[in-house]
């Protein structure tokens, strides 16, 4: 429960912490790189970054590929940011290996950079802020399989093949399946973290499988796509997602979605921006924060049912208490 409290703290506490961190300077520009505009998770990250920048009297500049997860486009955006030279960068690579040369260009330009969400395979960073994808996959899958009483037919809709988040989440799914020998895995196919692609994958899976009892989706956008496919075919199955996005909360409230593993993109945006600004102000930073998962269900969704713009970033003191190395 410690983690769940993170995004919903009292404003006076935050303002007090912010006041103490503005002693050296302000007005910095933080360039925030996210992977796409199609996954609501990254909108959550961006709002968290904006929130923290505003509190600390800095400003953000967002770099988002117009084509989701485009490696060439993000590389081009890095070329642009190196020229514009912001105060610091908060960086999510669209591909954890392919973007290493880009990170090295940022390093060569001596622009401080914080890595969030997907851990880069190389380059130098002030901090890493992310979540435990394996635990997210394992715990959300366990919740679904328990709801099915450990029996039935399951399909997995994966994210982008080869991406770190997908590899770890699907590994968690599969380990949960190993704990339940009464569950049959019918198929495991990629939906590339996109709602429309997941909808199409689910439609195809339903054509070849007369009975699907559960769907393990590696993010909320794909879970919503799977639900739309089920509704379109007038079929029922228990579905879980990951990310704790607003659309997932709405689907949990309406009973369409069983659960979502909270990846807390809002906190990732907050903390990544916080560390960048603190480094610029020559204040201590935390080298690594790996956020623990929370499974959001109909029993505990209310604290998460808060508009993004109304959420409050954690303080540095609270960040210190997290899973910090």
- Buried-exposed string 54-79: b where 16+ CB fall within 10 A, e elsewhere: ebbebebebbbbeebbbbebbbebbe
Percent of the chain predicted with pLDDT > 70: 91
pLDDT confidence of 2, banded at 50, 70, 90?
A: very low
What pLDDT sits at residue 309? 81
pLDDT confidence of 323, banded at 50, 70, 90?
A: low
What pLDDT sits at residue 211? 97
Name the average pLDDT for the chain: 90
What pLDDT sits at residue 161? 87
Looking at residue 78, the DSSP 8-state letter turns out to be H
Pairwise pLDDT comparison (200 vs 163), residue with the higher score? 200
What gap in Å lies between CA 199 and CA 194, rounded to an integer?
Answer: 9
pLDDT per position as a tens digit, 265-311: 899 999 999 999 999 999 999 999 998 889 999 999 998 898 888 88
What pLDDT sits at residue 25? 60
Q: Is 0.85 topped by the overall pTM?
A: no
pLDDT per position as a tens digit, 177-197: 999 999 999 999 999 999 999
pLDDT per position as a tens digit, 26-80: 899 999 999 999 888 899 999 999 999 999 999 999 999 999 999 999 999 999 9
| Whole-Å CA distances, 263 to 35, 94, 129, 248, 292 | 15, 17, 11, 12, 8
Is the confidence at residue 253, as pLDDT, over 80?
Answer: yes
Q: For the residues 136-153, what does the mean pLDDT come to?
A: 96
Question: Among all chains, which residue has been given the structure tokens 């890595």?
Answer: 115
What pLDDT sits at residue 21? 43
What pLDDT sits at residue 85? 96
What pLDDT sits at residue 3? 32
Q: Are 261 and 136 in contact (CB under 8 A)?
A: yes
What gap in Å lies between CA 102 and CA 71, rounded to an integer?
Answer: 10
What pLDDT sits at residue 11? 34
Please give the full DSSP string across 211-237, using - where no structure is assigned.
---EEEESSHHHHHHHHHHHHHTT---
* Burial group, residue 296, by CB count within 10 angstroms (0-12, 13-18, 19+): buried
């Amino acid at each position: 429960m410690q983690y769940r409290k993170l995004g919903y703290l009292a404003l006076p506490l935050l303002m007090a912490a912010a006041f103490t961190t503005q002693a050296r300077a302000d007005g910095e520009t933080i360039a925030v790189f996210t992977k796409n505009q199609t996954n609501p998770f990254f909108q959550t990250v961006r709002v968290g970054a904006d929130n923290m920048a505003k509190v600390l009297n800095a400003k953000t500049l967002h770099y988002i590929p117009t084509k989701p997860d485009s490696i060439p486009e993000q590389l081009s955006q890095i070329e642009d940011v190196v020229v514009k030279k912001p105060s610091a960068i908060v960086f999510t690579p669209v591909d954890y290996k392919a973007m290493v040369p880009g990170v090295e260009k940022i390093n060569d330009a001596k622009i401080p950079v914080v890595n969030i969400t997907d851990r880069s395979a190389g380059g130098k960073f002030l901090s890493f802020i992310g979540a435990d994808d394996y635990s997210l996959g394992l715990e959300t899958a366990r919740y679904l399989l328990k709801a099915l009483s450990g029996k039935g037919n399951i399909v997995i809709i994966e994210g982008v093949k080869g991406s770190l988040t997908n590899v770890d989440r699907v590994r968690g799914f599969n380990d949960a399946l190993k704990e339940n020998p009464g569950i049959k895995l019918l198929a495991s196919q990629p939906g590339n973290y996109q709602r429309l692609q997941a909808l199409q994958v689910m439609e195809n899976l339903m054509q070849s499988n007369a009975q699907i009892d559960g769907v393990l989706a590696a993010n909320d956008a794909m879970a919503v796509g799977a639900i739309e496919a089920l509704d379109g075919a007038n079929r029922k199955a228990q579905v879980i997602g990951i990310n704790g996005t607003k659309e997932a909360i709405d689907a949990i409230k309406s009973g369409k979605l069983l659960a979502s593993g909270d990846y807390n993109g809002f906190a990732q945006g907050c903390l990544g921006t916080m560390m960048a600004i603190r480094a610029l102000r020559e204040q201590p930073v935390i080298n690594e924060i790996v956020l623990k998962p929370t499974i959001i269900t109909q029993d505990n969704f209310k604290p998460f049912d808060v508009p993004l713009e109304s959420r409050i970033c954690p303080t540095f003191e609270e960040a210190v208490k997290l899973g910090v190395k």
